[in-house]
Structure 1
Amino acid sequence: MFKCGIAYPRCKWILPLLLLCAIIFDIIALAGSGWVETESGRDYASLWQSCTSVGGNEYSCTSIMDYAWGKATAALLIIGFIILIICFLLSFVALCAPRISLLRVIGGLLILAVILQVIALVIYPSMYTNDLATRTENYLYSWTYGFGWGSTIIMFGSAIFFCCLPNYEDEMLGNAKTKYFYTSA
């Protein structure tokens, strides 16, 4: 006989794995060097510095931390990252012990981290193009900037799940029978 349903006790462990993926994506975004680059590859920038080619393989780099928006962007991303790590650790506490009320707290913290990271990821391109872009060529937002957005999207989805999981408390704790979507005889 074939049965198809959701096994909540096993399904709940996907959330810490998603948070781990978000942590990895955030580390790549924070440490990556290619947030912005020109089509020709002459200029590139990361969260921390902007570099321009001066000939050959030599680049002249200036710190983005000299600008207030650069400091704000870095601070918001780092605070969001710290909140994400706290949520990752709390998710093990909440899912190992039957503390279902802690799940909504984790969801709320993740929403706060998402708000901080969205603000940072919107500030960076708008202020970069105003202050540092030369407007002689087109600038492309690269893969490390995309990892920042990927982390934010994963955190948003995880926040929704953490907020909704307490509605299925009996299923998670094994107090209710599994409801099958499909059964065949």
Structure 2
Amino acid sequence: MPGLRHGRERAIVNDYQHISNLIGRYGQIVDEWPRQPDAYADLFTDDAEFTDNGVTIRSRAKLHRLMSLAEEHTRDQPMLAGTRHLMLNPVIEVDGAKGNGSVDLLVIELSADHGWRIRGSGRYHDQYARDVDGTWRFRSRRLQWFKDGGPDPRSPGLGDAYAAVFQSVMNESELQ
């Protein structure tokens, strides 16, 4: 980075590394079994927004609730089943304590019926913020599915099911 003093360049590279790790942690935590709602919620700022299938969840508490529901739903899932959210091609721009970026998503799924298969593909559009504790977190995360195919083009109703769960979380009274 021509023109930047060594110390400033190191800080910028460090911010990129921290945000890149945030993106990677997201992919790992969202697939972890059993689910870890606390770890998932900690990836987001208190006032974060997450949008998928046209529905936005607002607040870290609501995102914690979403992952708690996923934990309840997958609790009895067979050991050889689940997904892997692969984060690819990150593009990150940092400006002080804020940043923007995008990252491609490839979801692979393991099931007894199909074995391994590609379930969906999309792109996250992100806003990052260095939180009060100095940790980089998602301020906003919006998922755009490839060609609007939803989370699984072979199961078109899955996107509607996800949207209904998101909406039910948003309709719950405010969480503490």
TM-score normalised by the chain length of structure 1: 0.30
Larger Rg: 1
Q: Which has the larger share of strand?
A: 2
Higher relative contact order (CA 8 A, sep 6+): 1
